[in-house]
Structure 1
């Protein structure tokens, strides 16, 4: 059966409206983590009833925000292909921080106790990538080996979670701190972390959207 242009238009409008609501929610919640559905609807230029036509409740809206963020984070993990596990881990931390810093309040909500499990599930590809990087670093002796790879990856994740939730994203040192904290948990000394960043200045400069790979 052929779909007419008049049938396609409502579907396209619905997708655009949903995307607009998510963008409005991101903006509104960034300004007020407790922002109501009414406030989000006003920012989106919709009525409360129209918003509920797309999302059953505020929790459903937040879950969609978390899912959208997880997709971007998982995409970063796919792009980072450095052969040196230390560089790969540092680049992951830097680019994930750059992504989260733009929506730090949303990131903090995604990582709070109420949503941490669904966030973890949505970030499964990223978590697997971190375990792979850690295991690779352990195999070549560049990362600590006194902790099993899955456990060490989880410790790295918890360190990143703390930085995202506790550090002011506007601080010029925030991204560097996120990277150095990650490397410290992984077994590098603070001097080694600083040297690694000095040897690879692009780590803190590369935007999250840029595919990168080690040339070695």
Structure 2
């Protein structure tokens, strides 16, 4: 009886675990230093540099995977944020994204690294598209400022969020509230309108 030979043996379980360990370590290490070396990442994962190269041929490939993991979570949030009021939708998205940025600080930090802007922009395409949709809806309904084109306003929202992430510590108390105030100000709401909105929709800052 001729034994059955598999054309492609299943990937070793420990290889999968090692790759996950490397990605997890990279997220942790890059959270505090977006320019951390491969040696530092491999050491944090409890693996050798050689083992790291077995999964990632170079540092850029590892960073791109870290970006992809974070972007997938950010994009998922963008897709699930849907409120009839574009002001509320934008505020809820900001809160959720900020809290997720705290959970995947590596992706957030890399997003601020000019060397990887291109990779980040491409990975976050669904999120950026959702921001444009909300901005267009806000401008057309009169909820947002109407003195500029929606796409330009969306770009202003994106760049403001990026600058805020660079300047504001993720550990800052009430950081999500500050982010919401900044972005709602950008789209044209006065401080009194923001207070009125918060009083009418207090769940904005309580989203999960």
Tell me the residue number matched to 1:42.
43
Does the CA-based 8 Å contact 1:104-1:165 persist in structure 2?
Answer: no
Tell me, which stretches of 5 or more residues in structure 2 are unaligned?
none
Secondary structure at 1:7 match in 2: coil
Q: Which has the larger radius of gyration?
A: 2
Once the two structures are superposed, what CA deviation does each residue of 1:69-110 show, in whole Å capped at 9, x if it has no partner? 111111001101101010001111111111112333541222
Distance 1:164 1:31 in 2: 14
The aligned residue for residue 191 of structure 2 is: 190
**C-alpha RMSD of matched pairs (Å):** 1.9
Report the counterpart of residue 211 of structure 1 in structure 2.
Answer: none
For CA contacts below 8 A with separation 6 or more, give which structure has more relative contact order: 1
Which 4+ runs in 1 deviate beyond 4 A? none
DSSP-derived class of the 1:115 partner: helix
- Asked if 2 retains the 8 angstrom alpha-carbon contact of 1:143 and 1:186, the reply is yes
Measured against aligned partners, the alpha-carbon deviations of 1:106-139 in whole angstroms (never above 9, x if no partner) come to 4122222111122111111111111111111111
Residue matched to 1:58: 59
Q: TM-score, normalised by structure 2?
A: 0.90
Task: Using the TM superposition, give the Cα deviation of residue 161 of structure 1 relative to its aligned residue in structure 2, in angstroms.
Answer: 0.4
Q: Which 5+ residue runs of structure 1 have no aligned equivalent?
A: 208-216
Count of matched residue positions in the alignment of Structure 1 and Structure 2: 204
**How far apart in 2 are the matches of 1:186 and 1:158?**
13
Separation in 2, partners of 1:13, 1:162? 40
